[in-house]
Amino acid sequence: MASGCILDTCWVCDDLVWEDDWILYNEQFIHPACAENKTQLMKDKASRLHYEDEMTEDLQMLKRMLGSCQKEIERLENLIKRRA
């Protein structure tokens, strides 16, 4: 049973990394058991990076949409002001 302080969350399995069960892998705390299968480790990391790329693209698209909405709001507010 793991014990001691919690060092981090293992990015491979998402479980907590305890001070008596860790190794450093690319400057991050992970479980030794999670590091044994490096092929799976790299696939997982690539998958996560791909997911992060998708989230970044979604975020940029939402920001562009928000910018368009703000411009439309300003345009409509100016039209209303001119009528007043």
What's the closest the beta carbon of residue 50 comes to Zn ion, in angstroms?
A: 20
d(C-alpha 12, C-alpha 50), whole Å = 15
Q: Based on CB atoms, which residue is closest to Zn ion, 8 or 72?
A: 8
**By CB under 5 A, residue 22 contacts Zn ion:** no
**By CB under 5 A, residue 21 contacts Zn ion:** no
From candidates 21, 22, 29, 31, binder to Zn ion by CB under 5 A: 31
Residue entry with tokens 């999670």: 34
Determine the residue type at 50: H
Pick the stretch among 30-38, 54-62, 65-73, 75-83 that binds Zn ion (CB under 5 A): 30-38
**By CB under 5 A, residue 34 contacts Zn ion:** yes
Three-state DSSP at 20 gives: coil
- The per-residue b/e assignment along 60-76, b for 16 or more CB within 10 angstroms, e otherwise, is eeeeeeeeeeeeeeeee
**By CB under 5 A, residue 12 contacts Zn ion:** yes
